[in-house]
Structure 1
């Protein structure tokens, strides 16, 4: 018994109530999560967080709390993803690199939320977009591929580094079904482009987004509208690129004009193409790997920043797909 480490105590002073609420989480869910991960006991008393743990647990707990400081210190909500990302960085010796996530604020949303990469792979993705003319991002739903690209695009537009934004995606299912939808062609394809509008509204607000769309500063259009054009002085985002054919991908990549940047995003496991048709995204990731000026970024289930259940769903389907015989790619679930 004498050899057991005795519990030790420490405390963290929080600057204000918003920081305390952010660190604790709703119903103190973050404190309970940290307790489960570290074995420490955490009690919030006003603006003082009291930690009771064995020495090795204490150090681990204090380090995790410090890694999360950029979020709670500003009253920003802390999610399960944030905690898991910090823990993974700590366990892989990348805690110092993780701390810099808090310094990489890209923008502030209309609701006042500070927008920044939340995992190390997201950080690498943002840095790739900032330093390359063409970035290809592959990863499951919810990893922030399109949203982070849109955040960076809007920032570059506000800084006048580009003159316009062009956001496009293939309307794969449109081939047979558009004729049954009401309205003109733009109204028919709008449902396929809604996720791009949603990202713009979160960043700019609906009123400013509409004004920029009317002026042509922002263009949201189906991929078919890109043929024959040269996209100069623009930030171009091709979303859902797994649903492009190889010919479509080559077409849109060669639209890139002077002083332009392009980001191509998609999830190779979520195909809506007909059986036997190769995805232009998968081919591009292979063909362009190592080409100067091109970055290929891979995000994983660990980077999912939606509801925590989404990460578990992505993992479950990935395990199912790994058990399948090597046949055609998995269709969209």
Structure 2
């Protein structure tokens, strides 16, 4: 006799109200997303999650909830990326790899949020930075390239594994000329360096960031300031590297001194160099991909951790 498959019911006890709120999300948005992704129905009553639906859908939903347990059980906010990454892990048979994500806490932000890689490619990126002296990270906006590098850099600085943190990026004129901006040279280039300051403020807070900048333990400077220097005992982050020329890229890569490591990040779809000029990032990633001590990581729109719309915008342009 044909008809709809029999429905089942699964009940999961939640540890406390914070876990229940984190799992449900604002306005039950996480439960609604899980329903759309799995085909099961999910509702929280008191401190119980009730999953209903045909056996296959029920099992899929329960597996996703279990994979993201380390996040919601601590009362930490879930993002659409967390849910989609868990679904992808199930579909590709990488549940064990994904289960480690929730436990890989890198740091705690000034607002108390636990900072961790959210996707398997981000996890591989963090691992590459920990193991290699030079890491390239190529990917679209919002994939955590610079932020994860800053998290690891601050960790190493706090643990005194390096003596200073150097963040730099090229001040490329994207539709605006530096000469027409007000202020001295530092004030002219500060707008280009603002994203780096924002990452530091999230990790350390404005006050501690200012203190470390004054002491010279953290340096935020345009790429031109790196010429002629040897950067020893340092963690160097070169951001927006798609806007470096071949000569600039070679210059900064050869600044690396003893007991230092460097992370080079960029989005090769947003090059602001003159038309026809080869990006130093594209060239370096290709030339150095097989060099010992170098890792090249490529992130995609699936790793975007900003607003869900950002991922759709990137996919539309690609």
Alignment TM class, shorter chain as reference: over 0.9
CA deviation after TM superposition for structure 1 residue 176, in Å: 7.4
Moved beyond 6 Å, runs of 4+: none
Asked whether the equivalents of residues 174 and 272 of structure 2 are also in contact (C-alpha less than 8 Å), the reply is: no
Partner-residue secondary structure (3-state), 2:111: coil
What's the C-alpha RMSD, in Å, of the aligned pairs? 1.2
Give TM-score scaled by structure 2 length: 0.98
Structure 1 counterpart of 2:55: 55
Partner-residue secondary structure (3-state), 1:171: coil
Structure 2 counterpart of 1:291: 291
Deviates most, 8-17 or 258-267: 8-17
Deviates most, 178-187 or 203-212: 178-187
Q: Structure 1's 36 and 174: CA in aligned 2 closer, same or farther, altered over 3 A?
A: closer
Structure 1 residue 252 corresponds to structure 2 residue 252: yes
Q: Mapping of 1:315-330 within 5 angstroms?
A: 315-318=315-318
Separation in 2 of the partners of 1:197 and 1:256?
22
Structure 1 counterpart of 2:166: 166
Separation in 1 of the partners of 2:303 and 2:176?
35
Structure 2 counterpart of 1:112: 112
Separation in 2 of the partners of 1:261 and 1:38?
42
CA deviation after TM superposition for structure 1 residue 52, in Å: 1.1
Structure 1 counterpart of 2:84: 84
Structure 2 counterpart of 1:151: 151
Deviates most, 200-209 or 56-65: 56-65
Structure 1 counterpart of 2:189: 189
Give TM-score scaled by structure 1 length: 0.94
Gaps of 5+ in 2: none
Structure 2 counterpart of 1:325: none
Gaps of 5+ in 1: 319-333
Asked whether the equivalents of residues 241 and 281 of structure 2 are also in contact (C-alpha less than 8 Å), the reply is: yes
Separation in 2 of the partners of 1:4 and 1:151?
50
Asked whether the equivalents of residues 174 and 189 of structure 1 are also in contact (C-alpha less than 8 Å), the reply is: no
CA deviation after TM superposition for structure 1 residue 81, in Å: 1.0
Asked whether the equivalents of residues 139 and 298 of structure 1 are also in contact (C-alpha less than 8 Å), the reply is: yes
Deviation per residue, 1:83-128 (Å, 9 max, x gap)? 0111011100001110100111000000000000000000000000
Partner-residue secondary structure (3-state), 1:152: helix
Q: Mapping of 1:36-55 within 5 angstroms?
A: 36-55=36-55
Asked whether the equivalents of residues 166 and 235 of structure 2 are also in contact (C-alpha less than 8 Å), the reply is: yes
Separation in 1 of the partners of 2:91 and 2:154?
35
Structure 1 counterpart of 2:126: 126
Partner-residue secondary structure (3-state), 1:11: strand
Separation in 2 of the partners of 1:213 and 1:284?
30
